[in-house]
Amino acid sequence: MSDAAQPTAAEVRAAAEAVKTALDRHLAAVERRSGEDDPAVYEAFNQLAAAAEVYDELLYDRYDEVTPFEIPGDDALPPYAGPEEPNAISVLIRRDYAVVEPQRLRAQAQRVEAADSEVGASLGGDASDTVHGALGILFGEFEPDEIASRHKEFGLEEGDSTLWVTASDEPADPGDWLEAPFEHVDPEAVVCRFDVSAVFDEDPDADDEDDPDDDIDDEAPDDLVDDLDTEFDTHLDEDEDLEPLDADR
């Protein structure tokens, strides 16, 4: 950044003082907290994290130095503040996959097209020739739960998964949220949350030969399936046989 855009020494000093003040407020909130999920402690924690992040940025911009502490990510949910007796719930689900065998994916989509010509025609014809077209065919033909249980057959590799259950007083009107299903989520209305991620399996003593499918959060449901975020990988063994699809489909 240019010298004109750099923060002044006074601004850095003010940011440092803000961190000190936030530290005192956080300690005071902890000392007088009313319970494990005291919202005052949660608010003081966030204020301290925000002040420390500002100071860290200004310190680096001005002096090319960093602080010796890491600013924690805000991935924890705040205390529940939704309705005590909700009349409706929303289940927000996301499951990521990597496309590790695109030819296998296309081949399985071609089998669906061959069995039902209307499937390919509805997507513009020869849809299975492209990865995104093949994904449209397979996710249109199979339930997300079935794709989750048979993802290797479709050339997919499982990534992170998350499921959030949120509570509300009234159900949403039909069609209200379809354009942006995950845009308006109130963290304080989340009743429970279940995550499945490889970051939870970083055990240095783990046997490298263990089946990765065994490394699953026991508290998480098996059908965390919906939203798709794909990565493309062109590595492929073209001679590998494909597992047959369900003949009834």
pLDDT tens, position by position, 145-171: 999 999 999 999 999 999 999 999 999
Mean pLDDT of 91-108: 94
As a whole number of angstroms, the distance between CA 129 and CA 138 comes to 13
Q: What's the Cα-to-Cα distance from 132 to each of 4, 124, 136, rounded to whole Å?
A: 47, 12, 6
User: What is the CB-side half-sphere exposure of residue 82 using CA atoms within 13 A?
Assistant: 23
Q: Mean of the pLDDT values across residues 106-128?
A: 75
Between CA 190 and CA 81 the distance in angstroms is 8
Q: Does residue 188 contact residue 82 with C-beta atoms inside 8 Å?
A: yes
Instruction: Show the DSSP H helices in 64-143 as ranges.
Output: 102-115, 117-122, 131-141
State both tokens at 66: 């960093």
Whether 76 has a pLDDT exceeding 60, the answer reads yes
Averaged pLDDT for residues 78-101 = 92
Measure CA 8 to chain center: 38
Q: Which tens digit of pLDDT belongs to each residue from 213-249?
A: 544 444 444 443 344 343 333 344 444 555 556 545 4
**CB count in 10 Å sphere of residue 138:** 25
Of 90-99, 121-130, 166-175, 228-237, the poorest mean pLDDT is in 228-237
Residue 232's φ and ψ, nearest 5 degrees, are -105, 135
Nearest alpha-carbon partner for 163 in 227, 85, 72: 227
Counting Cβ atoms within 10 Å, is residue 2 exposed (0-12), middle (13-18) or buried (19+)? exposed
pLDDT of residue 42: 87
Q: How far is CA 175 from CA 19, 94, 172, in A?
A: 45, 20, 8
With contact defined as beta carbons under 8 Å apart, do 144 and 154 qualify? Answer: no
Least confident of 40-44, 130-134, 163-167, 209-213: 209-213
Give the CA distances from residue 168 to residues 12, 79, 158, 165, 177, in Å, rounded to whole numbers and listed in that order.
43, 15, 31, 10, 14
> Which of the residue ranges 35-39, 45-49, 99-103 would you say has the lowest mean pLDDT?
35-39
